Amino acid sequence: MPHAGLNALTLALIFYRLQVFVMQQTVLKGYLLALIGVCILSPDALLIRLSGDDPWLIAAWRGILTGIMILIYNQWIDRRSLKSQKANSGYRYYVNMVLFAFSSFFFTYAISNANVTDVLVIIAFTPLLSALLSAVFLREKVLLRTWIATLVCGIGLAILFSQAGGSSKPLGLASAAACAILLAAQFVIMRSCPEANLSSSMAFGALLGGMVCMLVSGFAILPGTQMLAVLAIGFIVSPISFVLFVYSLRYITAAETSLIMLLESVLGSLLVWLFLGEHPTLATTLAGVLILGTLSIYSFLALRELRQTSVLSAST
């Protein structure tokens, strides 16, 4: 009988280690998808700047091309019908579509009318906004660290908005803030229906926004290198990165994805500085360090708590 007990204990230990190994492999896959997505998305702001100074026309081409390519890439990965991918998302599918249409335009307008670093730092505020919106719409508890991080980041945002009027126009900064709010709302929607694949919703949202912007700007072909920059955005940068982010949420949490996405603020600003010579001001640098540092600590604490909870649940 002692041998039987020992064998049972050995099997339990092997099963536990197998669970941990599978969990680690799954998490690694999620990290890899999100990291590749960030690397592909990083040139987005630079390419928008290289596309000219007409945000309506850029948003039109960016939206239409991105929408078409998201549908193609998504169907190549997920062979189910669009109806099956929607699952039980219901009205949230269409709300997410409209939100994506508006957020895409606001991002393009912000990049065209504000310092790139200012825009990316403001959009980095998205994870905290998502946590606050989740408390309102999903009845999730808001932890003390979330309120503290929100307060600190709010100070950083106040520093950014206080310098509006230089290279960053007030309307450009406001558009970046609107984009962050809409992106946070999309995160909440995706979290509320994890069984659904909302990539097609994003695709139709991009198409909707692109066609509306095309009606406003009128149909026009951008000259030479500007059109090449838009094609790079529409065929590669935006669609592939967005699809990868959606699929990464299947393997890692929104907190983990958000932590990795903070890299875009750094990489995107670095690329614009290297190729266009647009360097951040001292106030932008201080605000960026304050916001990105706070968000990094916040995401790390959330991730550590999640890991501790996962280990405890796996051992029971």
Q: Is residue 175 a part of any domain in this protein?
A: yes
Give the pLDDT score at 308: 67
| Domains held by the chain: number | 1
Give the pLDDT score at 50: 94
Give the pLDDT score at 210: 96
What number of other Cβ atoms are within 10 A of residue 107's Cβ? Answer: 27
pTM for the predicted model, two decimal places: 0.81
Give the pLDDT score at 137: 81
Nearest to 122 by CA among 281, 242, 284: 284
Give the pLDDT score at 306: 65
Which residue shows structure tokens 């990795």?
Answer: 260
Q: Is residue 16 a part of any domain in this protein?
A: no
Note the Cα 144 to chain centre separation in Å.
24
Q: Is residue 8 a part of any domain in this protein?
A: no
The span from the CA of 75 to the CA of 78, in Å, is 5
Residues of the chain with pLDDT under 50: 1, 5-6, 11-13, 15-16, 18-23
Give the pLDDT score at 121: 82
List for the chain the helix, strand, coil content (%; round to 5): 85, 0, 15
Q: Is residue 17 a part of any domain in this protein?
A: no
106: containing domain: 45-315
